[in-house]
Amino acid sequence: MMTFTNDKPIFQQMADRLEDEILADTYHDDDRIPSVREYAVMLEVNTNTAVKAYEQLARENIIYNKRGMGYFVTPGARQQILKERRQTFLQQKLPELFRQMRLLEIEWNDVNEAWENNKKQ
């Protein structure tokens, strides 16, 4: 089961999760992914919601449909996701992180120490 938040539509969170699974190497180029119905059952959501997630990923060329066989990961999808997410992180998340660091007087060495401790876990 997946815990959903209120900041994005559920279908978008499902699409993000499938992208996360591609980034984590759960699925590779040309791997078959769970069917829409299987994914809906796994995440305990309505099938129509899963359909919207899959349609979005197909429009973005992350997955493709082989008629009668299901959905598969588009070759190069992982690199495409990495590129888009890095760009979003650098343009949207990082400026807010820096703003918070200034407000809270957090130094870069504090972040580096936390990063190193996190890597050990």
Residues 56, 59: Cα–Cα separation, whole Å = 5
How do beta strands 63-66 and 70-73 pair? antiparallel
Mean pLDDT (the chain, rounded): 93
The per-residue pLDDT for 1 is 61
Residues 32, 101: Cα–Cα separation, whole Å = 42
The per-residue pLDDT for 2 is 67
| Whether this model's pTM surpasses 0.85 | no
Q: From first to last of its 121 residues, what are the pLDDT tens digits of the chain? A: 667 777 889 999 999 999 999 999 999 999 999 999 999 999 899 999 999 999 999 999 999 999 999 999 999 999 999 999 999 999 999 999 999 999 999 999 999 999 898 888 7
The per-residue pLDDT for 18 is 96
Residues 67, 72: Cα–Cα separation, whole Å = 11
